Structure 1
Amino acid sequence: MTTNTTARFSGDGVITFQDVAMGPVRAGEVRLRVEVCALCGSDKRLLASGSPVVPGHEIAGVVVDAADSTGTAAGTRAIVYIPVYCGQCGQCRRGQTNRCLDLGELIGWQRDGGFATYVDVPAQCVIPVPDDVPLDVAVLGLDTVGTAAHGLRLALRTQSEPPQSAIVVGCGPLGLGVIAVAQALGIPEIHAYDPNAGRLALALELGAKEASDLESHNQYDIAVEVSGAGQARALAQRVIVPGGAVLALGESNDPYTMPATPRWRRTDCFTVRSFYFPLDEVDGNWEVLRRCGAFLRDKLAHPLTLAELPEAFDTFVAGVHLKPFIVTGAAS
């Protein structure tokens, strides 16, 4: 019998821990020892509202047990793909697993996630990690690089010619991931804006230039909005060139609106919204991580233990740490 220590979010910022006895691994599933579970901005919603399941959806770990039918070997180093896709619908058959028409669960949202010692996940959600990629880098291949890369790839498909310029509005972990991916995809001129001087400094260190003109129209082929704030959305819509693409990656509870101005009404423009990434993009994401993953980890991550999860959220919400990692100490 395996004892699992799990974090429970009861709402209003309260986190408690429970030790739970785990039974045998269910058919079609794999048990991982969690080595890294990174905090995500969306987890703040569960911290405030509470959750019926164990949160944590940016997970890297090592397989310790698996149902016989999965063919997954113990010792496999892996990251966890959070959409529990059906594998049968038209989208899944085309490889677009993030667009599953029968998507009922996300790991860490509708079923137990990684703020725990162990987590059981469907075998189809286990992504083996290449030997040359440390787990504390691999975990960035989920939200930080995976989501960024997929969104940018969609935005690039709207353009008849390779874009020459892009602006990233919001330089948190996902925004920095966008900058790294944009460089890997060959966009030559990348500017960044963030009202937080520390975050902006990291963007410049990564290779972006500071956006000096936030008012003029028709500046950028691609405008990536990563914060979800109304002013940031308005900025992205203002600076895009006719025919360009606004990539809306930021999340908030506010409705997404478009300006009712003569200039906006007379502008051809693509607005792109994306969710996560399909499994057929994973190999390309590893290549991006090999180029910039260690830098992103060293600049973003702040390692803490599972027992320190309440402290991790305190510093995360306060903006002291960009991306706390809950680690076991063996994340390699």
Structure 2
Amino acid sequence: MTDAISNTSAHFEGDGVVSFSTETLRAVRPGHVRIRVDVCALCGSDKRLLASGAAVVPGHEVVGTIVESAPDAPSEGTRVIVYIPVSCGECKACLEQQNNRCYNLGGLMGWQFDGGFAEYMDVPVQCVLPVPDDIPSDVAVLALDTFGTAAHALRLGARTQPDGIQNLLVIGCGPLGLGVVAVALAMGIPTVHAWDPNDARLGLAEQLGATRALDLETVNQYQVIAEASGADPARAAAQNLVEPGGAILALGESNEPYLMPATPRWRRTDCFTVRSFYFPKTEVADNWSLLRSHGATLRDTIMTPTRLNDLEETFTKFLDGDFVKPYITHEEN
């Protein structure tokens, strides 16, 4: 592509301040493709960068269209998702297509490398994965953190249980927790319960098909618990509610350490604690199948389209809980 491209991008200055700059893009670096950002979803982890400021353009849940390709990359006009780990490609994990486990991880798109809160974005060839033609961009973006991370965690959890997951509790009904609910139902897990102190969020889980958990006091109730909030009370509840031999999926993030309390209950509980990061490329095809069955329903339940130039206001509404899963789009709605 020879025509000069003018690109507007967002910058996090810290303390919730978002600024914008517009510049003419230079030539694409070797080993990269240039995409037009079609959708970039906001993530709860972005709140940390919003508060602290960021050295790069944030935004890591991205669907875009290639406008300038490169050798060994999909052709121009191909819609892609951005796979955020910039892995070495040479270690044992990468050679097994477990790039999320790279031993020499170079960083993450939107964290250490410019991300998708912009009109255009340059992406390493290894980090673009084609989107099937039948999946809209505002559903495809869920294949990343919301569906992809949830599905990977549930698959790891299932490996700890001889007969798979039959009984699941999801604690925390933010975007990731609601993603776990949707994925669990798409996977056919028979019993999916949910709990959140916010009744509206809990109502969204019920709308997706989960059953409201009524008893958070009785111990040994759930085979597998996905703790998706990162809050200390939720972590403590998971420790009490998990069955002997069950598993806790530690998905919620916060700035507080993850503690296993030195109580008689904890000492006498035989269970797995599973921590997962993102998802491997080997799971992408199966994730598309899950999205086909439940992705549009999740989109319609939790997602709100917004515009790039409204990003600071959008984050304010996201922080206040008015938006569950907003995303910027450059397409006409």
Provide the secondary structure at the position in 2 that maps to 1:222: strand
CA deviation vs aligned residue, 1:93-137 (integer Å, no higher than 9, x gap): 112110001102100000100000000000111010001000100
Q: Which letter maps to 2:64?
A: G
Measure how far apart 1:70 and its partner are.
Answer: 3.1
- The aligned counterpart of 2:27 is 24
Measure how far apart 1:185 and its partner are.
Answer: 2.2
CA deviation vs aligned residue, 1:252-288 (integer Å, no higher than 9, x gap): 0101111222122111100000000000000010011
Which of 242, 251, 254 aligns to 1:252? It is 254
CA deviation vs aligned residue, 1:263-318 (integer Å, no higher than 9, x gap): 22111100000000000000010011001111111111111110110111010010
- The aligned counterpart of 1:202 is 204
Q: In 1, are the aligned partners of 2:9 and 2:20 still within 8 Å (CA)?
A: yes
Which of 42, 59, 62 aligns to 1:59? It is 62
Measure how far apart 1:167 and its partner are.
Answer: 0.3
Q: Given the alignment of the two structures, is residue 15 of structure 1 paired with residue 24 of structure 2, yes or no?
A: no
Q: In 1, are the aligned partners of 2:220 and 2:243 still within 8 Å (CA)?
A: yes
Measure how far apart 1:187 and its partner are.
Answer: 1.5
**Count of aligned pairs:** 330
Q: Counterparts of 1:182 and 1:72 in 2: how far apart (Å)?
A: 31
Measure how far apart 1:186 and its partner are.
Answer: 2.3
Provide the secondary structure at the position in 2 that maps to 1:79: strand
Measure how far apart 1:176 and its partner are.
Answer: 0.9
Q: Given the alignment of the two structures, is residue 5 of structure 1 paired with residue 8 of structure 2, yes or no?
A: yes
Q: In 2, are the aligned partners of 1:303 and 1:327 still within 8 Å (CA)?
A: yes
Structure 1 stretches of 4+ with a deviation exceeding 6 A read none
Q: Counterparts of 2:274 and 2:21 in 1: how far apart (Å)?
A: 41
- The aligned counterpart of 2:275 is 273
Q: Counterparts of 2:156 and 2:35 in 1: how far apart (Å)?
A: 32
Which of 157, 160, 177 aligns to 1:158? It is 160
Provide the secondary structure at the position in 2 that maps to 1:70: coil
Q: Which letter maps to 2:230?
A: G
Q: In 2, are the aligned partners of 1:25 and 1:66 still within 8 Å (CA)?
A: no
Q: In 1, are the aligned partners of 2:157 and 2:165 still within 8 Å (CA)?
A: no
- The aligned counterpart of 1:46 is 49
Q: Counterparts of 1:263 and 1:22 in 2: how far apart (Å)?
A: 58
Provide the secondary structure at the position in 2 that maps to 1:292: helix
Which of 288, 295, 298 aligns to 2:297? It is 295
Measure how far apart 1:162 and its partner are.
Answer: 2.5
Q: Counterparts of 2:23 and 2:46 in 1: how far apart (Å)?
A: 22
Unaligned runs of 5+ in 1: none
Provide the secondary structure at the position in 1 that maps to 2:89: coil
Q: Which letter maps to 2:192?
A: I
Q: Counterparts of 1:319 and 1:242 in 2: how far apart (Å)?
A: 35
Q: Which letter maps to 1:177?
A: G
Measure how far apart 1:330 and its partner are.
Answer: 4.9
TM-score normalised over the length of structure 2 = 0.97
Q: In 2, are the aligned partners of 1:35 and 1:330 still within 8 Å (CA)?
A: no
Measure how far apart 1:71 and its partner are.
Answer: 3.8
Q: Given the alignment of the two structures, is residue 319 of structure 1 paired with residue 321 of structure 2, yes or no?
A: yes
- Sequence identity (%): 61
Q: Which letter maps to 1:161?
A: D
Q: Counterparts of 2:280 and 2:73 in 1: how far apart (Å)?
A: 22
